[in-house]
Amino acid sequence: MDILSVLKQLNAAHGPSGDGREVRAKIEELARPYADEIITDTLGNLIVHKKGAGPRVMFAAHMDSIGFLVTHIEKEGFLRVGKLGGIAPREAVYSAVRFKNGVRGVFVPEEKADFGKLKLDECFIDIGAENEEEARKLVRVGDTCVYDRSIRTRGGRVMGPYLDDRIACAVLLCALERIKKPACDLYMVFTVQEEVGLRGAKTAAWWVEPDLGIAVDVTDVDDTPGSEKSGTTQLGRGAAVKVMDASVVCHPEVVATLEELAKAQGIPVQRDILCAGGTDAGAIHTTRLGVKTGGISIPCRYIHTPAETADLEDARACVQLVSALAQA
């Protein structure tokens, strides 16, 4: 598989938290030729099993993205929305959005809103409806929408919404293709509802009961002007081995193993310390009596905006590192 091609297919699918059937179907389609078993659990996690001897190893990348959910339809035809996950309204202003049924609109602030202190209830979505009656023929309360922007590339860089965490899903799919004979009992888990509380990883890890858990996700960077030092990674310097984030302090043995594998196989790596925000590792490591847990991260700029930016070579290094661990 080509990672950019896979990423484009995943980003075209609808999949905000709680509404992930479309993206799950696409991942299952791409994973099936390389899996011994595929299970969808009650919460909606997609568990891809490749049988092997040795300990149970679980890689987790979340399928869900941030998004909006319609809460009210006003008499003028405008939509009021709630948010699914961490969306800052001022970062979403004037972004095009799309609903699963193809209806498109734009996220707009009220004219008198204070942009510096913009709140979600001071914003609305305009879908071009003339009034409430027309709007209700197009959308319903409870419908979800996502940013309507396609993936773009320049050189080795890729930009678009939902690299968090579709690029990590693409990493696992590409690694699954490479892993011919795992040295472990391998579970590639594509989780749900990470953006609203690491919910899918909690139930999936309970079911898999792994001996080793690895969360694969994007991470914040320290390579832009005025950086607030919330992350430690830089684009173009390779896969990021997580040391900690706000949800987990990674097991030192796992950190050491990943770094040793990278050195032995010539995979470029850097260390990932994320001062704010968490990953599925937070739910995995506290499952049952505890799980040795780490993380493999893709450095990403402008996380949770419509223009997330990553380096494809970093993602490819993550594919190599996931494959190396599964076959070690």
142 and 117 housed in the same domain: yes
138 and 13 housed in the same domain: no
Mean pLDDT calculated for residue range 60-71: 97
Confidence grade of residue 201 (pLDDT, cut at 50, 70, 90): very high
**pLDDT computed for residue 302 by the predictor:** 95
Task: Output the 3-class SS for the chain.
Answer: CCHHHHHHHHHCCCCECCCCHHHHHHHHHHHHHHCCEEEECCCCCEEEEECCCCCEEEEEEECCECEEEEEEECCCCCEEEEEECCCCHHHHCCCEEEECCCCEEEEEECCCCCHHHCCHHHEEEECCCCCHHHHHHHCCCCCEEEECCCCEEECCEEEECCHHHHHHHHHHHHHHHHCCCCCCEEEEEEECCCCCCCHHHHHHHHHHCCCEEEEEEEECECCCCCCCCCCCECCCCCEEEEEEECCEECCHHHHHHHHHHHHHHCCCEEEEECCCCCCCHHHHCCCCCCCEEEEEEEECECCCCCCEEEEHHHHHHHHHHHHHHHCC
120 and 12 housed in the same domain: no
User: Does residue 226 surpass a pLDDT of 90?
Assistant: no
* pTM of the predicted structure, to 2 decimals: 0.95
User: Does residue 227 surpass a pLDDT of 90?
Assistant: no
**pLDDT computed for residue 323 by the predictor:** 97
Mean of pLDDT over the chain: 95
Domain that holds residue 142: 67-147
Domain for residue 155, yes or no? no
Task: Write down the catalytic residue from 110, 194, 209, 260.
Answer: 194
**pLDDT computed for residue 10 by the predictor:** 96
> What is the tens place of the pLDDT at every residue in 117-141?
899 999 999 999 999 999 999 999 9
CATH (domain of 302): 3.40.630.10
Question: 226: left (phi > 0), else alpha (psi -120 to 50), else beta?
Answer: left
**pLDDT computed for residue 114 by the predictor:** 83
149 alpha carbon, distance to own chain's centre: 16
Confidence grade of residue 113 (pLDDT, cut at 50, 70, 90): confident
45 and 104 housed in the same domain: no
Confidence grade of residue 328 (pLDDT, cut at 50, 70, 90): confident
Known active-site residue 259 = no
31 and 89 housed in the same domain: no
**pLDDT computed for residue 94 by the predictor:** 95
41 and 91 housed in the same domain: no
Domain boundary among 121, 147, 173: 147
CATH (domain of 99): 2.40.30.40
75 and 99 housed in the same domain: yes
User: Does residue 30 surpass a pLDDT of 90?
Assistant: yes
Candidate from 137-151, 155-169, 218-232 with smallest mean pLDDT: 218-232
9-30 burial string, b = 16+ CB within 10 Å, else e? bbbebbbbbbbbeebbebbeeb
Mean pLDDT calculated for residue range 12-19: 95
**pLDDT computed for residue 117 by the predictor:** 85
322 and 185 housed in the same domain: yes
Domain for residue 114, yes or no? yes
Confidence grade of residue 240 (pLDDT, cut at 50, 70, 90): very high
Domain tally, the chain: 2
